[in-house]
Structure formats: C-alpha cells, structure tokens
Amino acid sequence: MNPKTAITTTLGLLATTLSAAAATAGQVKSGETAKGRRPNLLVIMTDQQRWDALGIAGAFGFLQTPNLDKLAREGAWMRHAYTPCAVSAPARASILTGLLVEHHGLNTNERASVDPASYGLTDKTTSDEILDRAGYYAEYHGKWHTPLRWLDAYQHTDYVTPQKKNPFKYEMGDLLRYHQILAAAYSTRQPGPGELTDGYFEMPYRPDPIDRRVFEGERFEQSVARRPLTQPDNNGELLIDNKYAITPYQAKEAIAAIKRGAAGSKPFAVTCSFMFPHAPMLPTAPYYGMYPAASMPVPASIADPMVDSPYKNANGRNLLPQYGRPELIKYMMSNYFALVTELDKWVGEIIAALDATGQRENTLVVFLSDHGEMLGSHAMREKNIFLEESARVPLIINWKGTIRPIVSDSYVSTLDLFPTIMDYLGVQADQRDGRSLRPEIEGMAKGDGFVITEWLYQGPSQPTHMIVDGGWKLFLSYDPASSVPPVLYNLSDDPLEMHNLIGASNPSRSKYAAKATELRDKMAQWLADRGSQYAAPMRQIKLGIRN
C-alpha cells in the first residue's frame, strides 16, 4: 500500500501520468483465467438513482436499462433495498464501514471534509481498507464524498488538498483531470442566445422551462440573494460532445482499473462511483430528449396536500413551485431518465471489460445507489427524507456461476453490504451494524424482515428514524418532546404515502396505535441491540393518541 499525500504537481503532469498508466493497463491479454485466484470485487454505485429507475422494475415502461436488467436477472435483485440515510456522505460512510450514521458520526455532507478527531468520526476501518490489508489490490474512481483518510487503501486514486484553510478539504485527482480536459476542449466556447452556463461543468447549456433561472425570469436576481443557485436548479441540455461527458469518463477510469487489477497477481477490489443521475440534470446529445418531455408520466402524488405530514415544507417544497407543476416536472423526468440510460450503457461496457479480462466468473459484482430522488413526487425534488422515492434504492448482487438468479422481496439495507462482501470474499472482519445477506440470497435463512433508516442531522426537528416492516412504515423523531408528528403508512393500501394513519386528521387513528407501538418497539430493540443512545427515549414516545 502506498500512503497518499497531497498532490502538488500540476494537473497537466497528473493527466500525463494517468494516460501512461492506462496505456500500460490496456496491454492485458483477453481471455486470461482466474484459476487459483481469490474472488475479486467490483462495486458500481450511482448517485441519487431511485429504486424504480430500472427498466426491470416496471414502473416506467419506456425506460431502457438493458445492461442493468440483465445484471438483475442473472443475479440477486433485492427489490426492497433502502439506504441507511438518504443523503450522500452519511450513506456512503455507512456503506463503506457497515456502521449506523450514529456510530460513524458523519451525519451530513459537510462532515466529509472536517477533522475526524475533532468531530468524533469513527476510527473503524472501511471494507476496502480491510481488503487492502488482506492482500487485495484496490482502486476507487468517481465521486468520493467521504473522509479523506479512508483513501489510503487505494492505488491510482489520488487527491489534491489545499495548502491553506481547511486541510481536510480535498479534490479528487480524476475529477480535476476531467475538468481540465473539458476546459481544454471548449476553451473558446461561450454561451449563445438562449443559453446559460452551468456552475458544475462550467459549460454552456440550453435550459428547459423548469430550470430555475428560466422559471423565475426577472425575479431571479432578487430571489438568488435569498437562496443561492445550486446544482439542482439547472435543467437542460449540456452543450458538449458526449465523448466529453462525465459518465463515459468515469466508466473508462474504472475499466482501466479493472485491467490493472486483472494484470496483477492480487485479487482486486474496484469501485466505480458515478456522479449521475444526481443534479444538475444536464444530459448531452444523443441522450437529451431521448424520452420526450411531453410523454413523461406525471407523478401520481404531485398534488398531495401533505396533510399530517412532517415533510410539508421539506426540500424547499413551498419555495420551488415548479416541481409541483405537471407541465414542468416532465422536463426534469426526461433528463433524469436520459442520464440513467446513459449510465446503463457504460455499466455494460464495464461488465464487458470484466469479461474481456477473464475475471467475470471470479468477481462479485455489486450495483447500488446511495439514495433516491423525489422527481416531483409530493411536489418535491432531491432526497433527505423517508418517503419511498428518496429512501429506497436499487441493489443487485451478481456473481456469475456462483449466485443463482433470485428476486428477493426481503427488506434489506445497503448497510448490509459490508458484512455481505466480507462473507462472499471469505475475509475476516469485526462485527458491524449490518448483517450478511448471503444466507438470504442462497436460501439458507430468512432475514430480519424489516429495515431501519436514519436522518440525524437536524435532530428532533424532523423525523429521525424509519422502520419498514411487512408493508407497514413508521417514522418518528426519537425525542418524546418533539413536535414532529409521527407517521404510519400502510404501503400495501397506500403506496403513494398520502394517508398518515395516526395523523391528527384521521378520526380512526386510535385503531392503529397498537401497530405503531409494535413498530416503535421493534425499531427501539434493533437500535438497542446495536448500542444506540436513541433506543431508550424512543420507547417513551406515545403513538396514535395525539389530538
């Protein structure tokens, strides 16, 4: 293992070094076998892909994801998988460590670039650190968004830290190189009539009517003083050639890593962490417009009055009315699904590279997303909440020739990936908060039957914990004194989550007090078994009797 240090060389030198390494990696002979080699690991993670943004899920009949559908059909497709926390950095930290957010301490995105000791972040090892120490060759490419110190497990994975200010803030080397390549290719490109410049790619794009600057028009200059322009505000067509798009760039980085790993004598652990379909919703041609906006289905819950819901004002819902307008949300949906289909194409290329190196049948492949996207459901965008579109994610575990095809309706969490990976790879690790899904996948045992999710950043001013069990879903704040109304949904009868059965407006709410209390106690016991400080106060919450 080569410890990482802050890179002070120029970006041009970094790009030259990467190109040379990729060229060397490309010399791997096709058809090499995996005889006598321990199993490899390939993790493919997207950002903000909801559980039903897969063709095989059947929710959107037009959606084309043939490569992901094939991966799901040939492996274990976990249809009821949930994120440990519906925010990027906390979720990613839980996935890497197998720890509850409460236990790893990274409860918000901003903590990804702070002093771990000062903020009490965990000193537990990540799954890749354990694999590195067990003799694995590890690389990670794409979005990171977790503490800097965990990067020491990886080869060909570099970063730049500032020389002043916050020494824990960083930029990933491959992202800097991408922006350098993009800027060089379009050094003279300026926005034309009707075009805007995006703040993330710093490139011109042709905005859609839902784009904030277009929607607000003359009001924008006044509103931006109160609410700064952010990535999710941008929707439209990014005006660059697709060969310069970020998804193919990130996929090619992962393909080069697979070739390097396959060429070595060690088993490899490679992660490709895609940026999309996270905002900004800016696909390039030919993906932009491949799903015409006019044909997009309007979310069935878009007009939900949010009676008895703690999320009535969540995600800037009342400040962003365009996401509740049927004629406008269709544009965001068109762009979102286009980005998903582009991702699918490159997932296929990554799997093809695994085949070409002769390592497919010796590689555990995991596909997941960190959290979902509301996409106009309940007139909201983004994530951060416990509703299905935000909290439920795609999860596929595939090992050709080893894991038999299975469609699982068990409730699972991506928190469970840490022990599952260790179990399948045969690597010893200490007990964490999740459970191995291997017995469940192989039909040897049943799982817990329920799943828990957290959101602790804002404390008891919002719901902090959620449990889904047998079609019932409860979320509440752990603090008995909180004014946040607890929520109980029966997903079997109310899949859109529009009727809070223990809400103040339901005259029959007392009928559901026993079920709500049962779920509360089950969640509290599960947390208590893992040493949670929130278990005891949670048991004191009275459910179904508030006026």
CATH (domain of 304): 3.40.720.10
How many structural domains is the chain composed of?
Answer: 2
Which candidate, 237, 342, 314, places its Cα nearest to that of 282? 237
Task: Answer with the residue of higher pLDDT: 246 or 5.
Answer: 246
Question: Residue 33 has what pLDDT?
Answer: 37
Bridge partner residues of 469 (DSSP): 450, 472
Q: Is residue 209 included in any domain, yes or no?
A: no
CA-to-CA distance for 91 and 88, rounded, in angstroms?
5
Residue 441: inside a domain? yes
User: 464 and 382 in one domain?
Assistant: no
Question: Does any domain span residue 513?
Answer: yes
Query: For 235, which DSSP code?
Result: B
Residues 330 and 353 in one domain: yes
Q: Is 489 found in the same domain as 354?
A: no
pLDDT digits (tens, 9 = 90+) for 118-141: 889 999 999 999 999 999 999 999
Q: Which helix (H) or strand (E) holds 339?
A: helix 326-356
What is the phi/psi pair of residue 530, to 5°? Answer: -110, 15
Q: Residues 413, 479: one domain?
A: no
Residues 407 and 476 in one domain: no
Residue 23 pLDDT: 35
Domain C-terminal end among 451, 479, 502: 451
* Cβ partners under 8 Å of residue 422, min gap 6: 127, 130, 428, 429, 436
For residues 445-457, give the mean pLDDT.
Answer: 88
- Say if residue 209's pLDDT is above 60: yes
- Condensed to tens digits (0 to 9), the pLDDT of residues 335-363 reads 999 999 999 999 999 999 999 999 999 99
| pLDDT at residue 305 tops 60 | yes
418-457 b/e (C-beta count within 10 Å ≥ 16 → b): bbbbbbbbebebeebbbbbbbebbeeeeebbebbbbbbbb
pLDDT of 32 above 50? no
Domain's final residue, options 425, 451, 477: 451
pLDDT of residue 152: 92
Q: Is residue 196 part of a domain?
A: no
Mean pLDDT, residues 420-449 taken together: 92
* Domain co-membership, 408 together with 495: no
Q: Is 212 inside a domain boundary?
A: no
Average pLDDT over residues 398-413: 96
Kindly indicate the confidence band of residue 447, based on its pLDDT and cuts at 50, 70 and 90: confident
User: H or E stretch including 133?
Assistant: helix 127-133
pLDDT at 544: 61
Work out the average pLDDT over 357-372: 98
Q: In terms of domains, do 272 and 328 share one?
A: yes
Please indicate, yes or no, whether residues 247 and 316 belong to a single structural domain of this protein.
Answer: yes
Does residue 8 carry a pLDDT above 70? no
Same domain, 416 and 477: no
Among the candidates 451, 468, 484, a domain finishes at 451
User: Who has greater pLDDT, 544 or 276?
Assistant: 276
**Both 522 and 385 in a single domain?**
no
- DSSP symbol at 519: H
The CATH number that applies at residue 520 is 3.30.1120.10
Same domain? For 547 and 464 the reply is yes
pLDDT value, residue 137: 98
Over residues 72-99, mean pLDDT: 97
Looking at residue 445, its pLDDT comes to 75
pLDDT in tens, 476-513: 999 999 999 999 999 999 999 999 999 999 999 999 99
Question: Is residue 366 assigned to a domain?
Answer: yes
480 shares its domain with 424: no
pLDDT class of 162 with cuts at 50, 70, 90: confident
Domain-embedded: residue 222: no
Instruction: Tell me the per-residue pLDDT of 142-153, one tens digit each, with 9 for 90 and over.
Output: 999 999 999 999
**Across all residues in the chain, what is the average pLDDT?**
91
459 or 92: whose pLDDT is higher?
Answer: 92
pLDDT digits (tens, 9 = 90+) for 373-389: 999 999 999 999 999 99
Residue 524's domain comprises: 458-547
pTM listed for this prediction: 0.92
Rounded distance between C-alpha atoms, residue 260 and residue 357, angstroms? 10
Mean of pLDDT values over 168-193: 93
In a domain, 2, yes or no: no
Q: Are 495 and 301 in contact (CB under 8 A)?
A: no
Confidence bin at 1 (pLDDT 50/70/90): very low
Of these ranges, 148-162, 181-195, 385-399, the one predicted with the greatest mean pLDDT is 385-399
CB 90 within 8 A of CB 105: no
Hey, what's the torsion of the CAs at 372, 425, 112, 458, to 10 degrees?
A: 50
In a 3-state reduction of DSSP, which class is residue 392?
strand
pLDDT digits (tens, 9 = 90+) for 522-533: 999 999 999 999
Q: Residue 93 pLDDT > 60, yes or no?
A: yes
The closest alpha carbon to 92, from 63, 112, 75, belongs to 112
Residue 24: is its pLDDT beyond 60? no
